[in-house]
Chain A
């Protein structure tokens, strides 16, 4: 007989018993893991809404699950009554002034129900009411620092805490911009009497005058263009003259170069001048005869200058007399002119005077015109 057939009862029994033991073990482990046999401490609280709340929602404290929501219901005051419990091992942390907080993820990643232990020494009695952080009483407890609320140090919360003031500033800026745009619109519609309205009116008037101004500007530009053309012509002529001057300078420079070359020439002018046997050295080596001669000529010239100075001084003294003589001479000449004119106009003696023959001088001075 086959083994399985012979021991069918034993095999089947073992087969079933093992399954039952495994099933029982799993259920017992499930019960232990899910705290079926542990004592829980029940409390109550109230939320404004049941959103993100449900029976079985876990309650966390610093990342540890410390309890669960047992039941929720809508009460007569349209608030949400929540019954919840705290595990036995965490009950010593449930002090008076403890709070519950429904922390909703700002980026839509769900919500967490957080437990914040109070700082009192007294345990909160089982069945007591526990405030939420949203409630007025909860806010008072937080302000009085009667509860230990840890700082939320996750990145998103920190970012949001930084972003919020920026957003408020942006909001204020947008409100200001909106008001400004409204004022601008009113000013453009001619409804504003403020400075902006005045400015807009002035701009409108200026715009009206703009075509005439542009005509004036065009005329001015045309005139300036003519002047600039003239100036440019002058500049051209100046440049041509400058070019001529530059060519002259070039000639001078060429001469200077030649002179410099002559000076550098060992057989040139300077060595000849400095030659002890040359004409200049001979001319200068005359025992001061030339010097003395020059000095005597200078002395004579000095005497002549002094004589001339004396003559000029005496002439200056005679100048009034000379001036009066000249005036009298001038008067006499004028009178003689009048006489001659009278004679010429007299018909009786017109043509009555014999012409005199002129005798030319044999000596022609160098100053005469026809020399």
Chain B
């Protein structure tokens, strides 16, 4: 039993260091990406298209629904405490700071994280990675970095769209409950909003994008030779991404509010 535990711990530590090494390798290759004028641009574009643009509808619906729910709950509960003016602050804190980047990251993890892990795992099983290496192409530089950048950019852009849809969707619901001019709504919203709220959301989106892309790529490359390992890699990519996203969210929130 002790040997099993020791072996497991050793494997975990080895895996952790391997993952960290992989992460730094991705960062290193990313820094070189824009100087090399590689064909990876096309991969990047396609990654943003699939990860960002195609997820826009899901994120939009999610944002409008959450904004509407917040408005409905807030307009029915907050007046009981005489704190109706907190509606805008709560809306901004929930959508811009917390749920915007978090739910976007979950959507991207579910859609694109599994896709990346499965795609890279399939390439490993089909020995395509070995082919890239044999012709002198760095698989990290050509395969991972475009996906990494594409996912981070998609996360940032989708977070902006999530905020737009969340706040504008809530305005539509406000019109149904208590019609107010859009100018008044925007003024109150902008009065409650701070740049730090936007920066906090974007920072989280950046971190979540990095986590999802690196974890998914890592799990894709962790497939050895059997095709049955591919779905396992996808599941691991999703599970680890969720856990790391939540931990990162808590950490960033703690740093922001503790500071």
Contact = CB atoms under 8 A, between A and B. Distances in A.
Partners in one complex: yes
Interface of A: 4-5, 8-9, 11-12, 15-16, 19-20, 22-23, 26-27, 29-30, 33-34
Nearest to B161: A19
B110 interface: no
B71 to A, nearest CB: 19
Given A8-B49, A16-B153, A30 B190 contact: yes
Contact of A12 (B52, B160, B187, B194): B52
Contacts of B46: 5, 8
A15 B45 CA distance: 11
Contacts of B193: 26, 30
B195 A30 contact: yes
B53 interface: yes
A12 B49 contact: yes
B34 to A, nearest CB: 15
Contact of A22 (B153, B156, B164, B187): B164
A235 B46 CA distance: 129
A19 B190 contact: no
Interface string B185-205: 011001101110010000000
Contact of A33 (B153, B161, B191): B191
A226 to B, nearest CB: 80
Contacts, number: 51
B127 to A, nearest CB: 26
B49 A4 contact: yes
B52 A15 contact: yes
Interface in B138-171: 153, 156-157, 160-161, 163-164
Contact of A15 (B157, B186, B190): B157
**Could you say which interface size class chain B belongs to?**
20 to 34
**Residue from A4, A9, A12, A30 having most chain B Cβ neighbours under 10 A:** A12
Given A30-B195, A33-B190, A23 B160 contact: yes
Given A23-B198, A33-B187, A16 B157 contact: yes
A23 B205 CA distance: 14
Contact of B48 (A16, A23, A33, A34): A16
Contacts of B195: 27, 30
Interface of B: 45-46, 48-49, 52-53, 56, 153, 156-157, 160-161, 163-164, 186-187, 190-191, 193-195, 198
5 contacts: A8-B45, A19-B161, A26-B163, A27-B195, A30-B190
Contacts of A4: 49, 53
Contacts of A9: 45
A140 to B, nearest CB: 37
Nearest to A12: B48
A34 B190 contact: yes
B191 A15 contact: no
Contacts of A23: 160, 198
Nearest to A16: B157
Contacts of A11: 49, 53
A190 B187 CA distance: 77
Contacts of B194: 30
Contacts of B163: 26
Contacts of A15: 48-49, 52-53, 56, 157
Given A4-B49, A15-B53, A15-B56, A22 B190 contact: no
Given A19-B160, A22-B164, A12 B190 contact: no
A4 B193 CA distance: 36
B43 to A, nearest CB: 11
Nearest to A7: B49
Contacts of B49: 4, 8, 11-12, 15
B191 A34 contact: yes
Nearest to B47: A12
Nearest to A9: B45
Contact of A19 (B157, B187, B198): B157
B204 to A, nearest CB: 15
Nearest to B48: A12
Contacts of A26: 163, 190, 193, 198
Contacts of A19: 156-157, 160-161
